[in-house]
Chains A and B, each alone.
Chain A
Amino acid sequence: MRETRLWSLHILVIPIIAVLLGAHFAIMHYAPVFYGTSVEEAREFGTMIERGKSVAQFVVYILLLAAGLYHGLYGLRGIIRELPLTPALAKTVDVGILLFGLFIFGLGTYVTWWTFSFKIGG
């Protein structure tokens, strides 16, 4: 793929991360301000499971996961690829980071889906 598209996407996800990370902070870390509950309460297992069953929550976290992973791993690739690598090694780095990203995304999606589909009491 053209580097321009990869780079543009890496820039485009910045506002997405800013908004979704803001939502994450509001839910998890500023619960007393936005929801009138304590931080401890917001982090309780039961509260998280209950919250995780919302479709909006599911979508927000999958998007945040994808955007954050892409932005972070694109940056990591940039740092590693600046090293004097052979073309074969550079290709290995690209493929390795892609596979690692897909694995983490799969894992994150599984956890988010598990929370979303968790049946309370059964």
Chain B
Amino acid sequence: MTEKTTTPREITFRLRRFDPDTDSVPHWDEYRMHVHDGMTVLEVLHQLKAEQTPTLAYRSSCRMGVCGSCGMFVNELPMLACQTQALHLGADVVTVAPLPNYPNVKDLVPNLEPLIHKHAAIKPFIIFTNHEEIDEPTGEFIQTPEERESISQFTHCIKCGLCLAACPTVATDPLFLGPQALAQAYRYSADNRDCGLHERLEAIDVFHGPYQCHMAGACSQACPKGVDPAFAIQLLKRTLVLDSIGFGKKKSKLAKVMPLADVVKQIEEFAPPPRTVK
């Protein structure tokens, strides 16, 4: 291990390789690469694929930490390859493996189906049950900055799956819904426009739901977008407990449909200050 440095140097990359057509078990291959300052692990992989091992399989897209495609297990920690500077790892040998807690498709490509299935199970969308209002809208919903702020960080999830890879509970209990789905369950249930908590209960108020969380907090450390899923799980527990004893969201508060005149008034209240420069 060397100190974090920006001085260009040679680094050994140990990549876990697995081809289901030819291999029965994964193996490790080593490659040497001259790394310069600013080079991300993803760029290293691009270069390795172009120059040394064209059969290397990995997933990537946006290259700027937005799409969540390039989640990998770099030096034993789940992270986005496009956001990880190779030199900043401060290691002479960098190991890159597919995300744990997921089936391995090939080389560094994990099968993210468990993440997608769990995410879909919690109905990750606004559920509005006032059918009269749906059929004949009388106004608009207003979400105040405070209401938005209360769920803001949880809306930043990019479904990269790093939190599930970091979660020790998912490692031992694959049926555990996991931090991503539970955080999203809270994000939608806490949204003032949503009244679908009871429709989500079948998926979240179960043994493998929030109460299975061991509160290790690894998900929050791993999240590349600064979301705190461990906190969301605790908030979801509170929501569920309050609902179970009859102190859940009140329907009247939910139907926050405002006449359009009031909407305009509210928008004016939240309007930015007038321009100082014409």
For the complex, give the distance between the alpha carbons of A5 and B240 in Å: 9
Contact A7 B211 (CB under 8 A): yes
Interface check B50, CB cutoff 8 A: no
Interface string of B172-203 (1 = CB under 8 A from A): 11110000000000000000000000000100
Interface check A15, CB cutoff 8 A: no
Shortest CB–CB separation between residue B189 and chain A, in angstroms? 13
Contact A81 B207 (CB under 8 A): yes
Interface check A82, CB cutoff 8 A: yes
Contact B207 A8 (CB under 8 A): no
Contact B244 A2 (CB under 8 A): yes
Interface check B212, CB cutoff 8 A: yes
Tell me which residues across on chain B come within 8 A of A90, comparing CB atoms. 207
Given contacts A4-B244, A5-B244, A8-B244, contact A82 B209 (CB under 8 A): no
Given contacts A82-B172, A82-B173, contact A4 B205 (CB under 8 A): yes
Residue of B nearest to A11 (CB): B241
Given contacts A8-B241, A8-B244, A82-B173, contact A2 B212 (CB under 8 A): no
Interface check B267, CB cutoff 8 A: no
For the complex, give the distance between the alpha carbons of A90 and B205 in Å: 16
Contact B240 A4 (CB under 8 A): yes
Interface check A121, CB cutoff 8 A: no
Q: What is the size, in residues, of chain A's interface with B at 8 Å between Cβ atoms?
A: 11
Tell me which residues across on chain B come within 8 A of A5, comparing CB atoms. 244
Contact B241 A3 (CB under 8 A): no
Residue of B nearest to A82 (CB): B173
Interface check B206, CB cutoff 8 A: yes
Contact A3 B205 (CB under 8 A): yes
From A7, A8, A90, residue with most partner B Cβ within 10 Å: A7
Tell me which residues across on chain A come within 8 A of B209, comparing CB atoms. 3
Shortest CB–CB separation between residue B50 and chain A, in angstroms? 41
Tell me which residues across on chain A come within 8 A of B174, comparing CB atoms. 84
Tell me which residues across on chain B come within 8 A of A81, comparing CB atoms. 207
Tell me which residues across on chain A come within 8 A of B237, comparing CB atoms. 4, 7
Interface string of B221-240 (1 = CB under 8 A from A): 00000000000000001001
Contact among B169, B173, B175, B206 with A3 in the assembled complex (CB-CB below 8 Å): B206
Shortest CB–CB separation between residue B203 and chain A, in angstroms? 11
Tell me which residues across on chain A come within 8 A of B243, comparing CB atoms. 4
Shortest CB–CB separation between residue A80 and chain B, in angstroms? 11
Tell me which residues across on chain A come within 8 A of B173, comparing CB atoms. 82, 84
Contact A82 B244 (CB under 8 A): no
Given contacts A8-B244, A82-B212, contact A2 B201 (CB under 8 A): yes
- Subset of 9 A-B contacts with CB under 8 Å: A2-B205, A3-B207, A3-B211, A4-B240, A4-B241, A78-B207, A82-B169, A82-B212, A84-B173
- Taking A3-B207, A8-B241, A84-B173 as given, write out 16 further A-B residue pairs in contact, using a Cβ cutoff of 8 Å, ordered by the A residue number: A2-B201, A2-B240, A2-B244, A3-B205, A3-B209, A3-B211, A4-B205, A4-B211, A4-B237, A4-B243, A4-B244, A8-B244, A82-B169, A82-B173, A84-B174, A84-B175
Residue numbers of A with Cβ under 8 A of B are 2-5, 7-8, 78, 81-82, 84, 90
Q: 4 tightest CB-CB pairs across the interface, nearest first?
A: A4-B240, A7-B211, A4-B244, A82-B173
